C-alpha cells in the first residue's frame, strides 16, 4: 500500500496545476492575457486555459456601470455657490486599452467626471443649471466620452441629480419668482384694458354712425335696470327728442 504513495504525489501536483490553469469567464466578462508580462490577447467568454507562472489574466466586466459622482462645490458664472451631484453610466468597450493604458479605469473615470462636472457647470449661470439640465448633461457626456475613449471606455449618459442651494438663495429665488408672477399679472391686466378700450371705441364709432344702434342700446339698458326688485323709477325719453334738444341748443349757441 505504501509503495503507491510516490506515484500519487506527482499526480496530485499535476491535478493542482491543471485546476489552477482553468478559468471560466461568463458572457459579460473578458480576460486580458499576458505572456511573461507582454500582452498576448483578449480571451473569453467560456473556458480559458492559463499556464500558471507564465501567463496572467485580468478579468474585465463589459456591463454598464452606474457611477455615483459625489457632491461637488461649484461656483456658477454669476458667483453663486451650489452643491451638485450626478450619476455617470459607462462601460468598457476595449478591454485591452482599459487595462494597459490606465492603472485603474474605474477610479480614473470617477476623478475625471468630478473635475469635468465642476468645470462645465462653472461656465453657466444658476438659472441655466436649474432650467437647462438636458443641455448640461449632454455637454458633460460629450467631454467625458471624448477623453475616456483613449482608455477604451464609452460614456453612455450623465444625469445631474441634485442642485442644492443654501437657504438664503432659496428665499431669494422665491422672491424673484413671486415678482415675476406679479409682473405677468400686471401685463395681462394691461393688455385686457387695452383690448377693452379698443372695443369700446369701435362700439362708439358704430353707434355714432347708426342712430338705430343707439336706440337699441338705450332700450337694452332700460330692460337691464327694470328688474323685479328695482327701487328706481325710470321715465324713458325718445332718443330722437334728446337728439333734437342737443341739436337746437348747439344751433342757439
Q: What is the pLDDT of residues 90-139, one digit of tens each?
A: 999 999 999 999 999 999 999 999 999 999 999 998 888 888 899 999 99
Burial class (CB in 10 A: 0-12, 13-18, 19+), 117: buried
Distance CA 94, CA 62 (A): 9
Q: Yes or no: say if 144 and 117 are a contact pair by the CB < 8 Å rule.
A: no
pLDDT of 158 strictly over 80: yes
Average pLDDT, the chain: 81
* pTM tops 0.85: no
Residue 9 located in a structural domain: no
Distance CA 89, CA 217 (A): 72
CATH number at residue 146: 3.30.479.30
pLDDT of residue 244: 62
Does one domain contain both 161 and 190? no
Confidence of residue 53 (pLDDT cuts 50, 70, 90): confident
Q: Which three cell numbers stand for residue 36?
A: 511573461
pLDDT of 5 strictly over 60: no
Q: Yes or no: say if 98 and 58 are a contact pair by the CB < 8 Å rule.
A: no
Does one domain contain both 161 and 175? no
Enclosing domain of residue 37: 15-60
Residue 48 located in a structural domain: yes
Confidence of residue 35 (pLDDT cuts 50, 70, 90): very high
Does one domain contain both 136 and 192? no
Amino acid at each position: 500500500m505504501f509503495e503507491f504513495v510516490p506515484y500519487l504525489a506527482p499526480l496530485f501536483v499535476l491535478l493542482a496545476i491543471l485546476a489552477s490553469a482553468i478559468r471560466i469567464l461568463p458572457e459579460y466578462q473578458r480576460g486580458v492575457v499576458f505572456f511573461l508580462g507582454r500582452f498576448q490577447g483578449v480571451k473569453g467568454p467560456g473556458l480559458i486555459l492559463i499556464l500558471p507562472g507564465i501567463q496572467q489574466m485580468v478579468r474585465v466586466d463589459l456591463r454598464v456601470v452606474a457611477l455615483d459622482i459625489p457632491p461637488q462645490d461649484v461656483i456658477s458664472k454669476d458667483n453663486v455657490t451650489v452643491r451638485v451631484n450626478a450619476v455617470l453610466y459607462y462601460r468598457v468597450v476595449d478591454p485591452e486599452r482599459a487595462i494597459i493604458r490606465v492603472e485603474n479605469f474605474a477610479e480614473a473615470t470617477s476623478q475625471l467626471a468630478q473635475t469635468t462636472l465642476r468645470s462645465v457647470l462653472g461656465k453657466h449661470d444658476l438659472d441655466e443649471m436649474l432650467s437647462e439640465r438636458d443641455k448640461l448633461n449632454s455637454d458633460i457626456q460629450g467631454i467625458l466620452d471624448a477623453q475616456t475613449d483613449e482608455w477604451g471606455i464609452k460614456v453612455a449618459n450623465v444625469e445631474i441629480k441634485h442642485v442644492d442651494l443654501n437657504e438664503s438663495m432659496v428665499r431669494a429665488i422665491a422672491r424673484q419668482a413671486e415678482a415675476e408672477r406679479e409682473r405677468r399679472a400686471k401685463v395681462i391686466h394691461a393688455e385686457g384694458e387695452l383690448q377693452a378700450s379698443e372695443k369700446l371705441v369701435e362700439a362708439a364709432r358704430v353707434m355714432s354712425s347708426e342712430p338705430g344702434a343707439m336706440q337699441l342700446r338705450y332700450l337694452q339698458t332700460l330692460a337691464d335696470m327694470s328688474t323685479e326688485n328695482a327701487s328706481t323709477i325710470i321715465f324713458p325719453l325718445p332718443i330722437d327728442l334728446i337728439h333734437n334738444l342737443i341739436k337746437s341748443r348747439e344751433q342757439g349757441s
